[in-house]
């Protein structure tokens, strides 16, 4: 086969950048639209102008009301042309412009005339446009025509009516449900596409009636469906009915299983695959039921069509997770797919073989995979690494070859998530296979010699400090650890100091050498490194002589802290330097406040309760339990999100207050975490008065004051607001009101008399990012492609002057409040461009995916392209509004 010519990079770039629409502007296109008014219409030129307008609209350009109206009225004049191509462009343009109710009437007569035209192309397109722009009133007028169109002899017209019915079912279900007889007749059509669309519409009409769906499936599985597309739909509906019904208790047979099995002998490949996949996905499927489906998929593995090979190997990969022995017969066919040109097929084949292979085939597989790894993307490599980890745990005696493989790919190029997957795998193998400890630790030591990821370096050093001293020759690891003190950043240096101390504490013979190395760390330029070195030198007593380390030191270095960190931090900040040393036993072991306390701002007293900035699920659950226990809030439903605490007071003020925003579908609850920092005062009847003048959509419904707020004992007061559903924004003013009682410092007793007082707090805003929940996805690319471009919005933004690309990435992530995926929040050093992937869930449980492309645009100027995909166009727009306003 002749090899294709390879163009130079420059040629490829030029070709990629070329676009027939390059540089067109809305103003120029609107000027060109005047050709629609010419007495002698030029169909070709008019089509070109409409194409440009459609391009602008689909690129996110918006026409103002006046511009859209002018273009719309000009386009309607093109109905006088008899050119078929131009007429189709006119239909498209009207659909995209979506005229308002008072403008629709202008084209209604023309479209209704076309709907009854003798030209089938006019009829089909007119139906689609009318159903797109019409309202319920007009729909009742044309309902008779739509019913006739559904049973029209021309399949293009019938399909147009059926597809329009599917869309109209969302807005006018009562009208569409009246078409059931015509739709049922269309299901018997000989036209494949008509039957497909009719079955889809009929199922949607009946989908809320389980008995009706079951009857539909029962009638159609008897052989009346001829269209392969419709048959695939029917298989899916049949699977749904099978999931909702129970097998026959006497025979164990599933209803409709014979139908699925008969579809395995269909002449259309798509039907065969759909049936095979449906069988493999049945709940509690038996090997006897799987066998015919596996046999069909095995035949597909040797197909000449890549799509069939991919579909078969992906399905077998899923089956191998639950029934590996059932897939074993396909192993020989899958081994031939390792060298498949399609890397996705090869990856799936390898991971399936790793799940189903036996111990004798491991070495052969490793040789094949080694050549394959360099050709695939990181996301595929991670899948392979995880499969190898499982295989090694399955066959522990093969740890040497598998560990060597992991160490080799660890030294190759790759991103953070890929390297993290390998490190995690090696750590798990070391823990679960004792014989693998020595070689595994050595491989990790070699990796941190040139590791570019701080997180991985500190993770490995921590693990090395716990496991290294227990090996046969701990001294060989010291060189690798001390190199980190010399060559790395402050975070890694501090971690290396702690690791050295662990070796010194556990291995008495190494203590003199460790003592010398730690003394050198006293001159480090970083405070944390010096402080750690000083602490550990004082713990390793005896000037580094060979003496046994005390139990207390070992417990300190290796034991778990049995007191809450927040309590320790609070006690340390309250400790006044004196002759009496700080006693850790004086720190309370019970958490004083609900549910988790946040980390305080530097120099500020503990300001009560709140969740950490990256609130974990456990914090959200704790918040929900607390809020649901308060009668005023118990009827608000499910808590969607709790924000990170927002400080409402400056550091070192008399009263420290921060607020956590709890978001519900129809309510927002503000939890004000208050701390009294004046020892001579006791506050009573503490509440926050909230002014919602600048948040008109919010109305206060309930509040819960705090009875008493003693010195340095955090407490909470709550205020709840009702809001319309969705992401509603607002700004709130806050005043802390309370009664003050003077406290006698000597006795701690409060006086009887109290004085009313108030304290002005900072304003609080509910912003769009408060309605986004951090939720990750395991495979971003698959999720992105699965979401589809229907609700996608893309735009570009200038981020101005930034210290670095990393700082810009971090700032945008913080503004959006979404979850970084696949380690893309880490920006490589000296990189001039970077892509960051984010995922989350918008209020209303709408999934959102974001692709951020950053680039250096001039001296420290950063530009960003933001692409958003979601299940709702309004949500995609909302994400852009967060960025543009942030």
pLDDT of 388-406, one tens digit each?
Answer: 787 777 777 777 878 888 8
- Condensed to tens digits (0 to 9), the pLDDT of residues 848-869 reads 999 998 887 766 788 888 999 9
Q: Which residues pair with 702 in a beta bridge?
A: 720
Domain ranges of the chain: 209-284, 451-560, 604-766, 770-885
Q: Other CB atoms closer than 10 Å to residue 694's CB: what's the count?
A: 13
- Condensed to tens digits (0 to 9), the pLDDT of residues 701-739 reads 999 998 888 888 888 999 999 988 777 888 899 999 999
Give residue 347's pLDDT: 82
Domain 604-766 classification at class level: mainly beta
The three-state secondary structure class of 421 is helix
- CB neighbours of 287 closer than 8 A, spacing ≥ 6? 323, 325, 326
pLDDT tier for residue 620 given thresholds of 50, 70 and 90: low
Whole-angstrom distance, CA of residue 759 vs CA of residue 316: 66
Q: Other CB atoms closer than 10 Å to residue 633's CB: what's the count?
A: 22
Give residue 816's pLDDT: 87
* Contact criterion met (CB below 8 Å) for 415 and 378: yes
Between 277 and 804, residue with greater pLDDT: 277
Whole-angstrom distance, CA of residue 358 vs CA of residue 192: 46
Report the share of the chain in percent with pLDDT over 70.
Answer: 88
pLDDT tier for residue 829 given thresholds of 50, 70 and 90: low
Between 300 and 18, residue with greater pLDDT: 300
Whole-angstrom distance, CA of residue 886 vs CA of residue 880: 10
Strands 706-709 and 667-676: unpaired
* Phi, psi of 81, deg, nearest 5: -80, 145
CATH number of 770-885: 3.30.310.10
Tokens 């960051």 identify what position? 836
Give residue 101's pLDDT: 62
> What are the C-alpha distances in Å from 874 to residues 169, 791, 817, 818, 844?
20, 8, 18, 17, 12
pLDDT tier for residue 491 given thresholds of 50, 70 and 90: very high
- Condensed to tens digits (0 to 9), the pLDDT of residues 654-666 reads 888 999 999 988 8
- Condensed to tens digits (0 to 9), the pLDDT of residues 503-533 reads 988 888 888 888 889 989 999 899 999 999 9
Give residue 169's pLDDT: 87
> What are the C-alpha distances in Å from 551 to residues 274, 507, 543?
65, 13, 18
> What are the C-alpha distances in Å from 605 to residues 570, 578, 598, 675, 712?
8, 20, 12, 8, 8
pLDDT tier for residue 51 given thresholds of 50, 70 and 90: very high
pLDDT at 92 over 50: yes
Average pLDDT on 416-430 reads 88
> What are the C-alpha distances in Å from 798 to residues 257, 347, 802?
58, 39, 11
Strands 730-742 and 681-691: antiparallel
pLDDT at 597 over 80: no
Q: If residue 157 lies in a helix (H) or strand (E), which one and from where to where?
A: helix 155-168
Give residue 233's pLDDT: 92
Report the share of the chain in percent with pLDDT over 90.
Answer: 19
Give residue 543's pLDDT: 55
Give residue 610's pLDDT: 41
Whole-angstrom distance, CA of residue 401 vs CA of residue 75: 70
Between 22 and 169, residue with greater pLDDT: 169
Give residue 451's pLDDT: 87
* Contact criterion met (CB below 8 Å) for 642 and 662: yes
Whole-angstrom distance, CA of residue 526 vs CA of residue 765: 38
Give residue 272's pLDDT: 94
Mean pLDDT of the chain: 82
Q: What HEC string does 636-659 produce? A: CCCCCEECCCEECCCCCCCEEEEE
Average pLDDT on 130-141 reads 78
* Contact criterion met (CB below 8 Å) for 589 and 564: yes
- Listed range (35-44, 371-380, 821-830) with the worst mean pLDDT: 371-380
Confidence (pTM): 0.52
Residue 60 tokens read as 């996110």
């Amino acid at each position: 086969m002749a090899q294709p010519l390879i163009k130079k990079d420059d040629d490829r770039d030029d070709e990629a950048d070329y676009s027939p629409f390059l540089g067109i502007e809305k103003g120029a296109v609107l000027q060109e639209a005047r050709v629609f008014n010419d007495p002698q219409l030029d169909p070709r030129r008019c089509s070109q102008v409409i194409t440009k307008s459609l391009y602008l609209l689909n690129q996110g350009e918006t026409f103002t009301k006046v511009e859209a109206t002018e273009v719309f009225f000009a386009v309607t004049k093109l109905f006088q042309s008899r050119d078929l191509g131009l007429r189709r462009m006119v239909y498209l343009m009207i659909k995209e412009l979506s005229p308002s109710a008072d403008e629709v009437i202008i084209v209604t007569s023309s479209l209704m005339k076309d709907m009854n035209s003798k030209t089938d192309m006019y009829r089909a397109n007119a139906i689609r446009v009318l159903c797109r722009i019409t309202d319920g009133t007009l729909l009742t007028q044309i309902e008779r025509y739509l019913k006739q169109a559904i049973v029209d002899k021309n399949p293009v017209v019938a399909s147009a009516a059926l597809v329009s019915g599917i869309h109209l079912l969302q807005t006018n279900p009562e009208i569409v449900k009246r078409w059931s007889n015509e739709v049922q007749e269309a299901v018997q059509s000989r036209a494949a596409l008509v039957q497909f669309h009719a079955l889809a519409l009929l199922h949607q009409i009946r989908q809320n009636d389980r008995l009706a769906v079951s009857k539909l499936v029962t009638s159609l599985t008897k052989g009346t469906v001829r269209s392969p597309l419709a048959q695939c739909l029917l298989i899916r509906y049949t699977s749904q009915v099978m999931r909702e019904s129970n097998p026959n208790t006497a025979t164990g047979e599933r209803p409709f299983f014979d139908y699925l099995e008969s579809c395995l002998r269909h002449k259309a490949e798509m039907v065969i695959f759909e049936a095979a996949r449906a069988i493999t996905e049945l709940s509690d499927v038996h090997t006897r039921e799987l066998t015919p489906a596996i046999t069909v998929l095995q035949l597909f593995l040797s197909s000449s069509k890549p799509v069939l090979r991919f579909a078969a190997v992906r399905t077998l990969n899923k089956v191998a997770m639950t029934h590996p022995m059932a897939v074993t017969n396909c192993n020989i066919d899958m081994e031939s797919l390792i060298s498949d040109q399609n890397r996705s097929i090869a990856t799936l084949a390898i991971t399936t073989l790793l799940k189903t292979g036996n111990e004798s085939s491991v070495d052969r597989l490793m040789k094949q995979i080694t050549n394959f790894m360099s050709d695939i993307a990181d996301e595929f490599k991670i899948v392979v690494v995880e499969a190898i980890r499982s295989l090694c745990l399955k066959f522990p005696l093969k740890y040497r070859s598998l560990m060597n493989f992991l160490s080799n790919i660890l030294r190759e190029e790759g991103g953070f998530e890929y390297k993290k997957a390998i490190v995690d795998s090696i750590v798990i193998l070391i823990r679960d296979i004792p014989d693998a400890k020595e070689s595994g630790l050595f491989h990790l030591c070699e990796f941190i010699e040139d590791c570019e990821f701080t997180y991985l370096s500190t993770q490995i050093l921590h693990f090395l400090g716990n496991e290294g001293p227990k090996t046969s020759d701990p001294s060989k690891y010291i060189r690798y650890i001390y190199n980190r003190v010399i060559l790395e950043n402050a975070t890694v240096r501090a971690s290396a100091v702690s690791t050295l101390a662990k070796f010194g504490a556990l291995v008495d013979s190494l203590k003199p050498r460790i003592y010398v190395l730690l003394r050198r760390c006293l001159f480090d330029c970083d405070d944390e490194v010096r402080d750690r070195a000083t602490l550990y030198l004082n713990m390793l007593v005896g000037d580094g002589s060979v003496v046994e380390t005390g139990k207390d030191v070992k417990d300190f270095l290796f034991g778990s802290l049995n007191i809450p960190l927040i309590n320790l931090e609070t006690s340390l900040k309250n400790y006044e330097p004196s002759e009496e040393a700080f006693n850790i036993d004086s720190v309370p072991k019970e958490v004083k406040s609900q549910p988790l306390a946040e980390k305080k701002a530097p120099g500020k007293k503990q300001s009560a309760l709140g969740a950490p900035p990256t609130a974990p699920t456990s914090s959200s659950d704790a918040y929900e339990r607390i809020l649901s226990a308060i009668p005023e809030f118990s009827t608000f439903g499910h808590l969607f999100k709790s924000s990170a605490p927002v400080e409402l007071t400056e550091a070192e003020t008399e009263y420290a207050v921060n607020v956590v925003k709890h978001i519900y579908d129809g309510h927002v609850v503000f939890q004000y975490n208050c701390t009294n920092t004046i020892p001579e005062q006791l506050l009573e009847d503490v509440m926050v008065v909230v002014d919602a003048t600048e948040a008109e959509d919010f109305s206060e419904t309930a509040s819960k004051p705090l009875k008493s707020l003693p010195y340095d004992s955090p407490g909470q007061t709550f205020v709840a607001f009702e809001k319309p559903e969705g992401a509603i924004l607002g700004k709130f003013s806050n005043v802390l009101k309370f009664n003050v009682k003077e406290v006698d410092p000597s006795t701690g007793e409060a006086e009887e008399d109290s004085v009313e007082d108030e304290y002005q707090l900072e304003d609080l805003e509910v912003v769009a990012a408060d309605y986004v929940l951090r939720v990750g996805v395991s495979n971003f690319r698959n999720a992105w492609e699965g979401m589809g471009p229907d609700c996608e919005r893309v735009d570009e933004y200038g981020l101005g002057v930034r210290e670095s690309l990393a700082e810009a990435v971090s700032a945008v992530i913080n503004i959006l409040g979404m979850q970084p995926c696949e380690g893309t929040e880490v920006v490589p050093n000296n990189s001039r461009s970077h892509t960051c992937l984010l995922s989350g869930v918008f209020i209303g449980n709408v999934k959102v995916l974001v692709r951020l492309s950053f680039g250096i645009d001039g001296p420290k100027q950063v530009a960003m392209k933001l692409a958003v995909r979601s299940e709702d166009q309004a949500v995609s727009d909302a994400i852009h509004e967060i960025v543009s306003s942030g």
